[in-house]
Amino acid sequence: MSELQIGSIAPVFTLPASNGENVALSDYRGKNVVLYFYPKDMTTACIQESCDFRDANAEMLRHNTVIMGISLDTVKSHQNFIAKKELPFLLLTDTEHAVCELYGVWQLKKLYGREYMGLVRSTFLINAEGKLVQEWRKVRVKGHALQVLEVVQQLGARANVK
Protein backbone atom coordinates (compact mmCIF):
# COMPACT_ATOMS: atom_id res chain seq x y z
CA MET A 1 0.00 0.00 0.00
CA SER A 2 1.35 3.38 -0.92
CA GLU A 3 1.66 6.09 1.70
CA LEU A 4 -1.26 8.51 1.94
CA GLN A 5 -0.46 11.98 0.68
CA ILE A 6 -1.90 15.24 2.00
CA GLY A 7 -3.87 16.79 -0.87
CA SER A 8 -4.68 13.46 -2.53
CA ILE A 9 -8.12 11.89 -2.64
CA ALA A 10 -8.77 9.92 0.57
CA PRO A 11 -9.21 6.16 0.12
CA VAL A 12 -12.89 5.41 -0.41
CA PHE A 13 -14.71 2.67 1.47
CA THR A 14 -18.07 1.31 2.54
CA LEU A 15 -18.47 -0.22 6.02
CA PRO A 16 -21.29 -1.39 8.30
CA ALA A 17 -22.29 1.38 10.71
CA SER A 18 -23.80 1.59 14.16
CA ASN A 19 -27.13 2.70 12.62
CA GLY A 20 -27.49 -0.72 10.95
CA GLU A 21 -26.73 0.60 7.46
CA ASN A 22 -23.70 0.45 5.22
CA VAL A 23 -21.99 3.83 5.06
CA ALA A 24 -19.67 5.00 2.30
CA LEU A 25 -17.19 7.84 2.61
CA SER A 26 -18.63 9.16 -0.66
CA ASP A 27 -22.00 9.63 1.12
CA TYR A 28 -20.39 12.65 2.80
CA ARG A 29 -19.07 14.47 -0.27
CA GLY A 30 -19.80 18.16 0.30
CA LYS A 31 -18.95 17.87 4.00
CA ASN A 32 -15.65 17.65 5.82
CA VAL A 33 -15.10 14.33 7.59
CA VAL A 34 -13.11 13.63 10.73
CA LEU A 35 -12.29 9.94 10.52
CA TYR A 36 -10.80 8.62 13.73
CA PHE A 37 -9.48 5.08 14.10
CA TYR A 38 -9.41 3.73 17.64
CA PRO A 39 -8.46 0.31 19.04
CA LYS A 40 -11.47 -0.86 21.09
CA ASP A 41 -14.90 0.16 22.35
CA MET A 42 -15.26 0.75 26.10
CA THR A 43 -11.55 0.91 26.91
CA THR A 44 -10.24 3.84 28.92
CA ALA A 45 -8.39 5.84 26.25
CA CYS A 46 -11.00 5.05 23.58
CA ILE A 47 -13.80 6.21 25.88
CA GLN A 48 -11.93 9.46 26.54
CA GLU A 49 -11.20 10.07 22.85
CA SER A 50 -14.77 9.31 21.78
CA CYS A 51 -16.27 11.48 24.53
CA ASP A 52 -13.91 14.34 23.61
CA PHE A 53 -15.11 14.09 19.99
CA ARG A 54 -18.69 13.91 21.31
CA ASP A 55 -18.14 17.14 23.21
CA ALA A 56 -16.70 18.82 20.09
CA ASN A 57 -19.41 17.48 17.76
CA ALA A 58 -21.77 20.50 17.81
CA GLU A 59 -18.92 22.86 16.93
CA MET A 60 -17.71 20.48 14.20
CA LEU A 61 -21.21 20.43 12.70
CA ARG A 62 -21.20 24.26 12.65
CA HIS A 63 -18.13 23.96 10.40
CA ASN A 64 -19.80 21.51 7.97
CA THR A 65 -17.87 18.61 9.49
CA VAL A 66 -19.07 15.15 10.50
CA ILE A 67 -17.22 12.78 12.81
CA MET A 68 -17.01 9.02 12.27
CA GLY A 69 -15.09 6.50 14.35
CA ILE A 70 -13.72 3.21 13.03
CA SER A 71 -12.59 0.19 15.02
CA LEU A 72 -12.55 -3.59 14.65
CA ASP A 73 -15.54 -3.95 17.01
CA THR A 74 -18.91 -5.29 15.89
CA VAL A 75 -21.96 -3.18 15.11
CA LYS A 76 -23.58 -4.47 18.33
CA SER A 77 -20.56 -3.40 20.37
CA HIS A 78 -20.68 0.03 18.72
CA GLN A 79 -24.39 0.36 19.48
CA ASN A 80 -23.75 -0.40 23.16
CA PHE A 81 -20.82 2.06 23.25
CA ILE A 82 -22.94 4.81 21.68
CA ALA A 83 -25.81 4.17 24.11
CA LYS A 84 -23.57 4.19 27.20
CA LYS A 85 -21.54 7.26 26.21
CA GLU A 86 -24.26 9.17 24.30
CA LEU A 87 -22.17 9.49 21.17
CA PRO A 88 -23.98 11.57 18.50
CA PHE A 89 -22.05 10.23 15.50
CA LEU A 90 -21.66 6.94 13.65
CA LEU A 91 -19.15 4.27 14.54
CA LEU A 92 -18.08 2.01 11.68
CA THR A 93 -17.08 -1.64 11.84
CA ASP A 94 -13.90 -2.81 10.12
CA THR A 95 -13.65 -6.37 11.48
CA GLU A 96 -11.45 -7.48 8.58
CA HIS A 97 -9.21 -4.37 8.99
CA ALA A 98 -9.39 -3.66 5.23
CA VAL A 99 -10.02 0.08 5.69
CA CYS A 100 -7.41 0.19 8.47
CA GLU A 101 -4.94 -1.14 5.93
CA LEU A 102 -6.03 1.42 3.29
CA TYR A 103 -5.27 4.22 5.75
CA GLY A 104 -2.05 2.62 7.00
CA VAL A 105 -3.20 2.24 10.61
CA TRP A 106 -3.00 -1.58 10.74
CA GLN A 107 0.57 -2.00 11.96
CA LEU A 108 2.97 -4.12 13.91
CA LYS A 109 2.73 -3.20 17.59
CA LYS A 110 4.71 -4.23 20.66
CA LEU A 111 3.44 -4.75 24.18
CA TYR A 112 5.55 -6.23 26.97
CA GLY A 113 8.00 -7.58 24.40
CA ARG A 114 5.27 -9.31 22.38
CA GLU A 115 4.74 -8.31 18.75
CA TYR A 116 1.32 -8.40 17.11
CA MET A 117 -0.66 -6.65 14.40
CA GLY A 118 -3.10 -4.04 15.65
CA LEU A 119 -4.86 -0.77 15.00
CA VAL A 120 -2.76 2.33 15.72
CA ARG A 121 -4.86 5.25 17.01
CA SER A 122 -4.98 7.79 14.16
CA THR A 123 -7.21 10.57 12.83
CA PHE A 124 -7.71 11.90 9.32
CA LEU A 125 -9.40 15.10 8.19
CA ILE A 126 -10.96 14.86 4.74
CA ASN A 127 -12.35 18.00 3.09
CA ALA A 128 -15.67 18.44 1.28
CA GLU A 129 -14.04 17.45 -2.03
CA GLY A 130 -12.82 14.15 -0.57
CA LYS A 131 -9.17 15.18 -0.25
CA LEU A 132 -7.00 14.37 2.74
CA VAL A 133 -6.05 17.69 4.36
CA GLN A 134 -4.53 16.59 7.68
CA GLU A 135 -3.52 13.41 9.48
CA TRP A 136 -2.59 12.64 13.06
CA ARG A 137 -0.85 9.32 13.64
CA LYS A 138 -0.02 7.54 16.90
CA VAL A 139 -2.42 9.92 18.62
CA ARG A 140 -2.12 10.84 22.28
CA VAL A 141 -5.72 11.26 23.46
CA LYS A 142 -5.37 14.23 25.82
CA GLY A 143 -6.28 17.39 23.92
CA HIS A 144 -6.47 15.62 20.56
CA ALA A 145 -10.13 16.40 19.75
CA LEU A 146 -9.44 20.10 20.38
CA GLN A 147 -6.42 19.99 18.04
CA VAL A 148 -8.63 18.50 15.35
CA LEU A 149 -11.34 21.10 16.00
CA GLU A 150 -8.81 23.93 15.62
CA VAL A 151 -7.78 22.62 12.19
CA VAL A 152 -11.45 22.21 11.19
CA GLN A 153 -12.08 25.84 12.20
CA GLN A 154 -9.07 26.99 10.16
CA LEU A 155 -10.28 24.95 7.19
CA GLY A 156 -13.66 26.69 7.45
CA ALA A 157 -11.99 30.10 7.65
CA ARG A 158 -9.91 29.36 4.54
CA ALA A 159 -13.04 28.20 2.68
CA ASN A 160 -14.83 31.46 3.56
CA VAL A 161 -11.95 33.53 2.19
CA LYS A 162 -12.13 31.94 -1.26
User: Where along the chain do its domains lie?
Assistant: 14-154
Judge whether residue 152 has pLDDT over 70: yes
**Residue-wise pLDDT tens digits, 94-122:** 999 999 999 999 999 988 889 989 999 99
Cβ atoms of residues 19 and 93 within 8 Å = no
Provide the residue type at 158 as one letter: R
Determine which helix (DSSP H) or strand (DSSP E) holds 79, and give its type and residue range: helix 75-85
CATH topology classification for 14-154: Glutaredoxin (3.40.30)
**Residue-wise pLDDT tens digits, 58-98:** 999 999 999 999 999 999 999 999 999 999 999 999 999 99
Q: Which residues are CB-contacts of 68 (< 8 A; sequence separation ≥ 6)?
A: 23, 33, 34, 35, 36, 89, 90, 91, 92
Give catalytic residue positions.
46
Predicted model pTM: 0.93
For residue 158, what pLDDT is reported? 63
Q: What confidence category does residue 4 fall into, taking pLDDT thresholds of 50, 70 and 90?
A: confident
